[in-house]
Structures are given as structure tokens and as C-alpha cells.
DNA sequence: TTGAAAGCGCTAACAC
DNA sequence: GTGTTAGCGCTTTCAA
């Protein structure tokens, strides 16, 4: 297992050529100005095959200072959204032979900083980061961002426009959804909104409010309830609304995401409150497992694929130091109407 | 963006020490035999902090020939099972400061081979591979496996015992499930079994058969139907059974996985055939999204976490060249009984 | 306790 | 067309 790998020197010796020549055929330098005779090329190539030569990226990275690797940092790959992000970014990266080094922050900014440092140690060509909650690392990230292409994804820092970010248009999404409900006459909406620590929650609350304002509906009878992002939150909060009797004063409940919406549905089911007859329900995210779920859920599609592509493209542009038009990229969302809102 | 990174030489100059000394404090060589004076250590350490030195793994890898990275190759991270695998392996790896380079094979053995080569290029310390379908790469993998710690996960090659593999006990799982159905009096079972190309399908078919044999029930009235692994397969096949009227001669349908089972359920719903009154249904995998699904589904839990841990442990042992007891590691499964089989 | 120097495997500038 | 050689940044003998 302590096997010595075959190096270009080995294959240089074998062919009687110099390591420079070997390196040239390896890098197809002939396609790039430097001519190589067909003979030596073939000779070298066959030696490579024969000896089973596999290049050493560490050496290449060291001398070229680029690694053909991208660091992807997400809070947690078990979350569908990040799972998809990871998938689509990988797919993009493969096209250009970039590899992905996957890191988890677990929503912990200390871990996040550590992982970033590790990625820099590995001299990745860029970092795509779905920032952990809060803004603790913002200063640190501002430093980093001067050294290495960094693109923020999913969440961003409204307080700083030093970063490039690709996020879904959460204001718009929640605005569309809320407007849809209001137009249906459901004016008294409960919005279970997540913590207010993330830009995501903040924006969705903004969209929520905007819809009311634009339609000139008073928000007095609506209610925004802070929560976490789990199914249980939806369940517990709704249960509380039901048992307190408060639920009677509402026409609709919206979850900050589809899981929370599921929790809401569970609670309503438990108390045999019919959806959408008695109350309308909506989620957010258009989770791809939704089709397996019980109640067809009205939700907002974030277009994770487009987000991923955008982020990757920005990374590429940063590498090539192409101009990038704006710092904040917003991917359009779309409202998905289903039975839970009577559609 | 073309920033020159700080190197140990910079910090050597700054402290008036040699690069060897700097390297020593970096590697805590004092904890390891080589003594370093407290003074120089502190001096160096503060210079490191001051200059914002970040080590270069490429250089380290080149000189040490190990990269502290593990290659993980899976068919596709969008599949829940591989998603979980990735998560749990990452979590293990983090404990020892290994990083994960994530590769997709998309069930394509050519891609798989290319990815392996890439990982070796990167001098990863080991590869954890969920092999793509078929056995096309088996010879290639046998070569690889002599050069680098390789552990197979999820699927294995029954025809070769040169590999270390960690799989779930699929024979046992399907055996338990089938036995459960048979004991309930459901003797006429349709098993929608996936392709027979994977060890997974083969074993589950074996488990299926074994249950019949052991209970002394004739398999004559049962039926194994090949398929792919998607929800649609379950749906189409079941629909066919229903429209042809064939369904009446069966007591139960089992899907090769939970998604196929969902397809089955969809088809039955569509034709208003009641589960479990008219027919029993079971899946396989205990998908973590199951709790969100409509019909509580009887299934088999594969314990992905244990599989992941096992695989990682084997990798570690290979690194340390500890003895490894056996080549084929089987993680026990458990039957999860739910309403779809009348439990 | 510390330093000098020889690699690790590869790229790229320069020379022929 | 091809070879020589100086790095890239770090680890690790070997000496002192």
C-alpha cells in the first residue's frame, strides 16, 4: 500500500525523452503553440499507458497555483434544498473538470470559518458558500473574498455589498403567495416565519407585508409567528392555535417552508379541520418530495437549478476576471398553486 | 485575486528562524520527539498569526504523500440513500480532519473509472465507492484496490472477494419482510424487484425466495417482476396488473424500494383499491421522508448510519494497516411494520 | 534545539 | 521540436 507512483520522470526515462517533453504531451501543449513531433507524442503516450501513469495534482497545483477544485460549504446536506444545490453545482463543475470538496458548517460560524481556511489550504479555485445563520463571519468573509473567488448562495448579507451572491427572490416569492391568498379573500393569514436571523426569513416577511400594502389590506388581523424551520414547529404552533381556539380568526396559514407546512397539515388533520374548506395552507420551496406527500400543497418554486448555475457561472467569471454585472443575483421564483389553497 | 500566499519562508524570515523550525512548530513536532524551545515556538506562532499564514496542502501532500482527503463516489446524491451516506460519512471524516471530495458516477462505469483516476491524481488517502450497476469495472477496481484503500459500500461484487465491502443485509431484509407477509397469510406476493444487475436486487430476490422455502410455501402463485427503481415503475406495473385483472390473484405487492412502493400505492388509489383491506403493500429502505407520505408504509430499515460508520472505520483500518477481520461486512436491517400491511 | 539541503512531481521560461 | 533548470511550499534527514 506504500506503493511509489509512476512519475513523469519514469516515463521520460522509459522513452528517452525529457520530463519537459512528457509534460508537454500531458498538457497537450501542441494544441497550444508548442509543437511536438507526432512520433514522440505517440511514444510518450504509449509509455504512459504501459506504465499506468497517473498525474499528481498536488505537484501540478503547487507549481501552477490552481487546483481545479471548488469548495462548497453548506449547512447540512441532509436538507433537501442544499442537497439539490450540491447536485446541480456538481453537475456544472463536472463540465469543466472541476471537482467539489464538500464541507458542512452545521449553521455554526466557527466551523464555517475553519472550513474556509481548510479550503484555502487546499488552494481551491473558489468557494461557493451558503452562509450559516447570523452575520458573525461577515468581516472574516470580507477578507477572504479579497483572496479567492467567493460566491454566496441562498443567503446573503444585506448589510454589505462587497459580496457576490445568488439568492432566490424571496421577497417576490412570498409576495406572490400572499397576494394569491389575499385575492382569494383570505385576509387573515398566519405566517409561521422562521427565525428572523436569516435573510431568507426577513425577506419573506417583507414580501408578506408588501402584498398587504399593495392590495391595501390591513395587516391587523394577520399574524407573524417566529419559529424554527422544522415540521414540528408547524405542528406545535398550529396545535396551539387550535386548542386556544384562536384558529377560528384565521383564513390561512403559511409555513416558512414545505416541512413547516406539513406540520401545519398534520395538526389540522389531527383535529379534523378540513383543508381548504376550513382553512387554506401554503408552504414554500416546492420540495421535490412534495409529490409523495398527502395534501397537494401550494408553494413557491425557487428554481434551485438556476440558482446553482448562476452561482457557478459567477465563480467562472471571477476566475476569468470577466466583469460581473451586479453583486446581487436574484433568481425569479414561481408560484405553484395546488389543492391546499383550493386551486 | 492573483495574491501571493504567505509561506513558511516568509514567516521564517520574519522570525529569523529557518523554515525547518517553522515547519516543526506547525507540525507540533515537539509533541513528537523533536524539542522546540518555548521562545521560538511562541515567536513563530505569533508571526504566523500576524502574517495570516495559511498552510499549503498541495505542498504538504507532495512531500508527505498523503492528502487528508477521502474520495466518495456515489451514483447520484439526489437519491436519498446516497444523500444520507454522504452525510454520515462526512460526519465521520470530520472527526479526523479528513475532507471529502465528492464524485458522481451516474451509474456509468466509464465515468466511475474516470472519477477514480481523478481521485488518485489527487492522492486521496482512500476511496469509498458505491459501485455503479453491473460489473464492468471489476477488473479495474481490483488493480486500484492494490494501490489505495478502497471500500465498497451499498453494493458489492459477489464474484470477487478481493474487496472490502459494507452492505446492508439485503437477503435478511427481504427475508424478514416476506416472512412477515407470508405469516399474515399473504402467500401470493408480487415482488417488483428492480433490475437483476445489482447485488441489491439479486439479494432481495434471494431473501424473498428463502422466506418461501423456509416456511414451506410454494412460490407458484407469487411473481417477480423486473423493473427499474423509480416510482413510475411501481405505478405502471401495478396499473397493468389492475387493468389486466391479474391483481385479483395477489395478496400483496412489494416494491424494491419505498419509491416504487409509492408508485404502487398511487396506482391502487387511482383505482380505489383499498390498502390493506384488499391488498398489502410494502417498500424497502425506510426512507426518511416516509413520515411525510400518505400511507404509513411497512418497510425495511437499512441503518445507513451504521453502514457509513463501518465503511469509514474500514478505511481507517486500512490506512493504519490494522488487520480487518472479514471482507464482507453486513449491517443488520430491521423490519418496520406499519399500516400498509395491516400492522 | 536548530539549520542546511535534498527531495516530493510538475510546469514553464529559456536555450539550443 | 526538445532539453535544462529553476522554482512551487513543505517535510525530513543529517549535521551541528
DSSP codes, A118-185: HHHHTT-SEEEE-PPSSSTTHHHHHHHHHHS-EEEES---TT--SSEEEEE-HHHHHHHHHHHHHHTT
Contact A259, A322 (CB under 8 A): no
DSSP-assigned states of every residue in B151-191: EEES---TT--SSEEEEE-HHHHHHHHHHHHHHTT---EEE
Question: What are the residues whose beta carbons fall under 8 Å from the beta carbon of A96, sequence distance 6 or more?
Answer: A316
Confidence at residue A3, expressed as pLDDT on a 0 to 100 scale:
64
Q: Which nucleotide is nearest to A41 (CA to C1')?
A: D1
Q: Is B76 exposed, middle or buried (0-12, 13-18, 19+ CB in 10 A)?
A: middle
CA of A165 to C1' of D10 (A): 35
Question: Closest Cα to residue B333, out of B180, B226, B108?
Answer: B180
Q: How far is CA A253 from CA A177, A228, A250, A295, in A?
A: 11, 16, 8, 14
**Lookup: cell for A130:** 451558503
Question: What are the C-alpha distances in Å from A30 to residues A1, A13, A38, B166?
Answer: 36, 21, 10, 46
| CB pair distance less than 8 Å for B83 and A84 | no
Cα–Cα distance for residue pair B7/B51, rounded to 1 Å: 9
Partner residue opposite A67 with nearest CB, options B58, B78, B262: B58
The nucleotide whose C1' lies nearest the CA of A44 is D2
User: For residues A127 and A318, is the Cβ–Cβ distance under 8 A?
Assistant: no
Exposure letters A298-328 (e unless 16+ CB within 10 A, then b): bbbbbbbbbbbbbbbbbbbbbbeeeeeeeee
Whether A334 contacts A301, CB under 8 Å: yes
Residue pair A233/A263 in contact (Cβ under 8 Å)? The answer is yes
Give the number of beta-carbon pairs within 8 Å between A and B: 123
Q: Distance (Å, rounded) from C-alpha B161 to C-alpha B327?
A: 7
What global pTM score does this model have?
A: 0.93
Q: For position A175, what pLDDT does the model report? A: 98
Cell of B188: 401470493
B54, B58, B76 ranked by CB distance to A58: nearest? B58
- Our separate counts of H helices and E strands in chain B read 12, 12
Q: Looking at residue B122, what is its pLDDT?
A: 96
* Maximum separation of any 2 CA atoms in chain A, in Å: 88
Residue range A255-268: average pLDDT? 94
Lowest mean pLDDT across A63-72, A220-229, B115-124, B290-299: B290-299
Q: What is the pLDDT of residue B292?
A: 78
Please tell me the distance from the alpha carbon of residue A175 to that of residue A203, in angstroms, as a whole number: 10
d(CA A66, CA A62): 8
Distance in Å, residue B178 CA to nucleotide D2 C1': 70
**Closest by CA position to B8, among listed B39, B48, B50:** B48
User: For the residues of A29-52, what is the DSSP string, one character each?
Assistant: GGGGT----HHHHHHHHHHHHHHT
- Check residue B326 and give its pLDDT: 85
CB A228 within 8 A of CB A197: no
pLDDT over threshold 50, residue A1: no
Among B71, B80, B292, pick the best mutation site for testing chain A contact (most A Cβ within 10 A). Answer: B292
Chain-chain contact of B99 with A90 (C-beta, under 8 angstroms): no
| Lookup result for grid cell 425557487 | A302
For position B48, what pLDDT does the model report? 95
Can you tell me the distance from the alpha carbon of B250 to that of B225, in angstroms, rounded to the nearest whole number? Answer: 13
The pLDDT of residue A250 is above 50: yes
Mutate to test the interface with B, among A7, A48, A58 (most CBs of B within 10 A): A58
Which residues lie across from A298 on neighbouring strands?
Answer: A282
Which nucleotide lies closest to B33 by the C1' atom and the CA atom? Answer: C1
Quote the cell numbers at residue A292: 409523495
Residues of A in contact with B149 (CB under 8 A): 1
Higher pLDDT pick, A75 / A3: A75
pLDDT in tens, A295-313: 889 999 999 999 999 999 9
Nearest to A292 among B58, B62, B289 (CB): B289
What pLDDT, on a 0 to 100 scale, did the predictor assign at position A293? Answer: 78
CA A240 to C1' D7, in angstroms, rounded, equals 69
Instruction: State the average pLDDT over residues A14-23.
Output: 94
Are B58 and A54 in contact (CB < 8 Å)? no
Can you give the pLDDT at residue B1?
44
Instruction: Identify the residue among B60, B99, B288 best suited for mutation to test binding to A, counting A beta carbons within 10 A and taking the highest.
Output: B99
| The three three-digit cell numbers of residue A79, written as one number | 436538507
CA distance A3 to B269: 59
Residue carrying the nine cell digits 512519475: A7
Among A155, A6, A140, A7, CA closest to A75:
A155
Q: What is the dihedral of CA A191, A196, A200, A204, to 10 degrees?
A: 30
Asked if the Cβ–Cβ distance from A99 to B99 is below 8 Å, we say no
Ordered DSSP codes for A231-266: HHHHHHHHHHHHHTSGGGG-SEEEESSHHHHHHHHH
Nearest one of A264, A221, A265 to A246, comparing CA atoms: A221
Query: Which of A206, A253, A204, A256 has its CA nearest to residue A230?
Result: A256
Task: Find the nucleotide nearest A37 (Cα to C1′).
Answer: D1
CA dist list (Å): A225 to A231, A251, A253, A256, B254:
14, 15, 10, 10, 43
Contact between residue A293 and residue B293 where contact means Cβ atoms under 8 Å apart: yes
Distance CA(A18)–CA(A259), nearest Å, equals 62
- Cα angle at A113 between A110 and A114, to 5 degrees? 90
Q: Which of B300, B289, B301, B195 is nearest to B254 (CA)?
A: B300
Q: In chain B, which residue's Cα lies nearest the Cα of A319?
A: B1
Q: Give the mean pLDDT of A71-82.
A: 96
What confidence score (pLDDT) does residue A74 get?
A: 98
Low-confidence spans in chain B with pLDDT less than 50: 1-2
Q: At what angle do helices B199-215 and B170-183 cross, to 10 degrees?
A: 40
The pLDDT score that the predictor gives to residue B295 is 80
List CB contacts (< 8 A) between B7 and chain A. none
B-chain residue closest to A114, CA distance = B97
pLDDT at position A333, please? Answer: 97
Amino acid at each position: 500500500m506504500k506503493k511509489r507512483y509512476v512519475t513523469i520522470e519514469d516515463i521520460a526515462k522509459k522513452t528517452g525523452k525529457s520530463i519537459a517533453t512528457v509534460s508537454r504531451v500531458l498538457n497537450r501543449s501542441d494544441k497550444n503553440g508548442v509543437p511536438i513531433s507526432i512520433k514522440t507524442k505517440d511514444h510518450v503516450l504509449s509509455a504512459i499507458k504501459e506504465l499506468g501513469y497517473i498525474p499528481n495534482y498536488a505537484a501540478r497545483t503547487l507549481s501552477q497555483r490552481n487546483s481545479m477544485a471548488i469548495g462548497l460549504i453548506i449547512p447540512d446536506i441532509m436538507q433537501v434544498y442544499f442537497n439539490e444545490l450540491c447536485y446541480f453545482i456538481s453537475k456544472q463543475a463536472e463540465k469543466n473538470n472541476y471537482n467539489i470538496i464538500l464541507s458542512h458548517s452545521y449553521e455554526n460560524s466557527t466551523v464555517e470559518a475553519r472550513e474556509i481556511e481548510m479550503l484555502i489550504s487546499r488552494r481551491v479555485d473558489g468557494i461557493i458558500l451558503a452562509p450559516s445563520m447570523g452575520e458573525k463571519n461577515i468581516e472574516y468573509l470580507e477578507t477572504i473574498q479579497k483572496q479567492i473567488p467567493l460566491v454566496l448562495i441562498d443567503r446573503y448579507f444585506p448589510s454589505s455589498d462587497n459580496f457576490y451572491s445568488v439568492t432566490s427572490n424571496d421577497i417576490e416569492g412570498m409576495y406572490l403567495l400572499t397576494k394569491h391568498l389575499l385575492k382569494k379573500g383570505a385576509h387573515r393569514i398566519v405566517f409561521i416565519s422562521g427565525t428572523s436571523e436569516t435573510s431568507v426569513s426577513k425577506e419573506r416577511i417583507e414580501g408578506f407585508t408588501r402584498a398587504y400594502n399593495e392590495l391595501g389590506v390591513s395587516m391587523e388581523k394577520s399574524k407573524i409567528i417566529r419559529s424554527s424551520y422544522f415540521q414540528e414547529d408547524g405542528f406545535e404552533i398550529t396545535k396551539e392555535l387550535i386548542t386556544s381556539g384562536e384558529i377560528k380568526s384565521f383564513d390561512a396559514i403559511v409555513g416558512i417552508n414545505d416541512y413547516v407546512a406539513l406540520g401545519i397539515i398534520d395538526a389540522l388533520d389531527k383535529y379534523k379541520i378540513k383543508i381548504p374548506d376550513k382553512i387554506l395552507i401554503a408552504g414554500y420551496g416546492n420540495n421535490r418530495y412534495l409529490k409523495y406527500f398527502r395534501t397537494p400543497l401550494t408553494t413557491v418554486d425557487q428554481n434551485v437549478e438556476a440558482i446553482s448555475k448562476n452561482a457557478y457561472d459567477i465563480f467562472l467569471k471571477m476566475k476569468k476576471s470577466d466583469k460581473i454585472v451586479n453583486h446581487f443575483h436574484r433568481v425569479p421564483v414561481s408560484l405553484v398553486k395546488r389543492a391546499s389553497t383550493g386551486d
